[in-house]
Amino acid sequence: MLPYGRQSVTDDDVAAVVATLRSDWLTTGPQVDAFEADLAGWTGGAGCTAVANGTAALHVAYAAAGVGPGDEVVVPPMTFVATASSAVALGARIVFADVEEETFTLDPAAAAAATTARTKVVAAVDYAGHPADYDALRTALAGTDALLLADAAHSIGATYRGRPVGSLADLTTFSFFPTKNLTTAEGGAVASLDPELLTRARRFRNIGLVRERAELRAPDEGGWHQEVHEFGLNYRLPDVLCALGRSQLRRLGDFLAARARLVARYDEALADLPGVLTPARRSWAAPAWHLYPVRVLDGRRREVYDRMRAAGIGVQVNYLPVHWHPAFVDLGYRRGSCPVAESFYGQQLSLPLYPGLTDTDQDRVIDALGAALRGVTAPTAA
C-alpha cells in the first residue's frame, strides 16, 4: 500500500537522536531550548514553546488565551477534531463558522457573524498547508476582544503576503506528527509574538510551575522552591525528540521544495482529467502543501476511494466535518450549518504526498485515479 503520507528520516536524524540518548539529558534539557530557538527562525521571530503533540499545542494555546467555562471559541469544521475538542476540554462552547470556497480555510465573513461578546478565540486552520486570509480575519475581528489563533498543523514554512506562518496570529500551533512537514515522532509547538501569552503557554505545558523569584509568593522558602499559581499539565517535549526536530528543521526547506514540485506534477497531470478538481491557491499564499486534496465530482468520491485503495493507493479523506462527530451531535450540533465545508467533505480525497514520493510512484497514483474514474480498478504494483 502506497501511503498518503510518510516521514523522511535520515542517518543524520538517527545520529542526532543517538547522541542525545548518550548525553546527560533525555527529558527537558539543552535540545529543547535549541529546538525552540531554531523554530523561531521559521516563525518570523515569534517565540516558541515545544509541547508533546499537536493536540497539546492547541490545549496549551487555548489555556494561554484564558479560555474557560462560559467562553466561546469559533472554529471551522474542516479540520481535525482536536481544533475544537481541546477548547471543549477547558469548558468552552464551540461555535462553528463555515469555510471559503477553493481554499476551504475559515471564511472571514462567517467568522465575524459567529463572533459575540463571549468569543475568547477565533481559530483559523491552514487547511492542507494553505494559509487562511489573516488580514481579512483581523479586519473581521476588529472591535472585539477575541484573540486570533492559527492552527498551523499543516503549514510550517508557509508564507502569507510574504510573512511567515507563526507571525500572523496572536497564537500559532504546530504539529510534528510523522506525516507532517517535519517530524519529532510525536510533538508540537506554540508560537506567539506576545511575551505574556508565551509565558502562560510555557507554564501550562510545565504543570503550571513558577520558578522566577520575583513572582514567587514565598520567595524566601529556599533554593528548591517552586509554586503552582494556575493549574497546568505535563505537556513537555523531551530532549531526545527535540534533537530529532532540530535535525529535521535543517531540511525543512528541502521538504517544502519537494512537496511543491510534486504538487506541480499533480496539477499538470490532472488539469484535464474529467471528474476531478485540483486544489486552488491564492496569489498571496506560498503554501506548505501538507496535503494534496482533490475534489471528486458527481458523487463518486466513495467509489473512487474504494477502487484506489483496492489498487494499493493509500488515499485518505481529510476531514469529517467536526460538528458531524457523535460527540458534537450529542451536544446538539446539526448537519447543514456549514454548507461549504459539508459539500467539500462529500468530494474531498487526499492523494499521496510526501518528500520521498518518487515520480514513478506518483505516476502510479495518477494512473490509478484515472482508472478509478473510468470505473475500473487499476492493477496493484508488483
Cα gap 139→118, rounded to integer Å = 18
- Active-site annotation holder among 130, 180, 259, 364: 180
Q: CB of 149 within 8 A of CB of 121?
A: yes
Q: CB of 141 within 8 A of CB of 111?
A: yes
Beta strands in 318-377 (DSSP E): 348-351
The residue length of the chain stands at 382
User: Who's near 185: CB < 8 A, 6+ residues apart?
Assistant: 176, 178, 241, 244
Cα gap 208→63, rounded to integer Å = 11
Considering only CA atoms, which of 140, 105, 120 is closest in space to residue 74?
120
Please name the residue that has the C-alpha cell 471564511.
107
Cα gap 140→133, rounded to integer Å = 11
Annotated catalytic, 180?
yes
Cα gap 33→211, rounded to integer Å = 17
Task: Look up residue 216 and give its three cell numbers.
Answer: 514567587
Considering only CA atoms, which of 372, 177, 355 is closest in space to residue 256?
355
Considering only CA atoms, which of 315, 181, 319 is closest in space to residue 253?
181
Residue 212, burial from CB neighbour count under 10 angstroms (0-12, 13-18, 19+): exposed
Q: Is 45 helix (H, G, I), strand (E, B) or coil?
A: coil
Q: 25 in the Ramachandran plot: left (φ > 0), alpha (ψ -120 to 50) or beta?
A: beta
Please name the residue that has the C-alpha cell 475568547.
120
Cα-flanking dihedrals φ and ψ of residue 334, to 5°? Answer: -130, 155
Q: Tell me the catalytic residues.
A: 180
